[in-house]
């Protein structure tokens, strides 16, 4: 897909789904948090769900955990503008409670479609929820973080959620190590080497076939025709 095509497709998809009312979170959200960043990035970060700041601003990771994420990105010489950041849930659970299974179940196809459009080479899952969803496993994050998986031709790198490091500084050191591993995997991919120099685990869990997702043809009712082509809203969203 051409560079501009991906952004355009994401933008159209945003306008298609931003009025979603498939679960109760629609009633309490301020904003639908689609995700933001570079539609052409090779790297996608997937968090859990918007918190208070994200809900208010309509962008992912803009609160304290986001500051930490920025810091970790800068350690490996990346900025937010070079990656794409999304969440498993697009709407804030009240009081930041954990996502419910039924919420994940209705929202996951939005993420799968974003993955299909962006077609990243690496997906870094931040914390338990995105890791378990994308690896299709119940295994805990502690046993999965730091490992490198390859599913449907994509690398999946689970790491701890940055929020976990906010209160436990030793976890920040672990996150730094995991970010350095991300950087190493990127370098290996960019150098055209095969996977020999990293330990890659293939076909972990049951494949979901994200790349051929059967996503979503029943969302047309959510289109707001007035803002369908409003590029300034997409820019405000941080989509570029
Ligand atoms: N935590 C998340 O998982 N996502 C956000 O967007 C913010 C905090």
Residue predicted with more confidence, 182 or 210: 182
How far is it, in rounded angstroms, from Cα 151 to Cα 180?
21
238 lines ligand 1 (CB under 6 A): no
Dump pLDDT digits (tens) for 122-171.
999 999 999 999 999 999 999 999 899 998 889 999 999 999 999 898 99
C-alpha distances in Å from residue 21, one per residue of 17, 24, 106, 120, 168: 9, 7, 10, 28, 36
How far is it, in rounded angstroms, from Cα 206 to Cα 234?
35
Of 57, 68, 134, 163, the residue with max ligand 1 atoms within 8 A of its CB, to mutate for a pocket test, comes to 163
Helix axes 128-135, 101-118, angle to 10 degrees: 70
50 lines ligand 1 (CB under 6 A): yes
- What structural domains and CATH numbers belong to the chain? 3-211 (3.40.470.10)
How far is it, in rounded angstroms, from Cα 31 to Cα 190?
36
Residue predicted with more confidence, 212 or 25: 25
At residue 216, does pLDDT exceed 70?
no
| Structure confidence at residue 5 (pLDDT) | 93
- pTM attached to this predicted model: 0.89
Mean pLDDT of 208-231: 50
At residue 211, does pLDDT exceed 60?
no
Helix axes 169-190, 64-75, angle to 10 degrees: 50
Residue predicted with more confidence, 193 or 215: 193
Give, using CA atoms, the residue closest to atom 7 of ligand 1.
61
At residue 3, does pLDDT exceed 80?
no
55 lines ligand 1 (CB under 6 A): no
How many Å lie between the centroid of ligand 1 and the Cα of residue 44?
14
Q: What percent of the chain has pLDDT over 90?
A: 71
> Which atom of ligand 1 approaches the CA of 48 most closely?
3
Asked if 143 and 202 count as a contact pair (C-beta separation under 8 A), the reply is no
Structure tokens at 142: 């502690």
How many Å lie between the centroid of ligand 1 and the Cα of residue 65?
7
How many Å lie between the centroid of ligand 1 and the Cα of residue 194?
33
How many Å lie between the centroid of ligand 1 and the Cα of residue 32?
13
């Amino acid at each position: 897909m051409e560079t501009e095509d991906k952004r355009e497709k994401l933008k159209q998809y945003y306008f298609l789904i931003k009025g979603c009312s498939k679960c109760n979170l629609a009633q309490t959200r301020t904003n639908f948090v689609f995700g933001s960043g570079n539609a052409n990035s090779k790297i996608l970060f997937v968090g859990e769900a918007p918190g208070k700041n994200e809900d208010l601003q309509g962008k992912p990771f803009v609160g304290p955990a986001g500051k930490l994420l920025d810091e970790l990105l800068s350690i490996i010489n990346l900025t937010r503008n070079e990656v794409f950041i999304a969440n498993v849930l697009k709407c804030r659970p009240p009081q930041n409670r954990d996502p419910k299974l039924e919420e994940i179940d209705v929202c996951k196809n939005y993420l799968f479609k974003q993955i299909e459009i962006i077609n990243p080479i690496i997906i870094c899952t931040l914390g338990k929820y995105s890791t378990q969803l994308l690896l299709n496993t119940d295994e805990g994050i502690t046993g999965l973080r730091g490992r490198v998986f390859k599913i449907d031709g994509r690398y999946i790198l689970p790491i701890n959620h940055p929020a976990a490091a906010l209160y436990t500084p030793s976890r920040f050191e672990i996150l730094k190590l995991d970010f350095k591993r991300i950087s190493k995997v990127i370098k290996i991919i960019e150098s055209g080497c095969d996977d020999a120099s990293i330990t890659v685990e293939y076909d972990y869990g049951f494949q979901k076939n994200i790349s051929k997702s059967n996503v979503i043809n029943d969302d047309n009712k959510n289109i707001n025709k007035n803002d369908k082509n409003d590029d300034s809203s997409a820019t405000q969203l941080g989509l570029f």
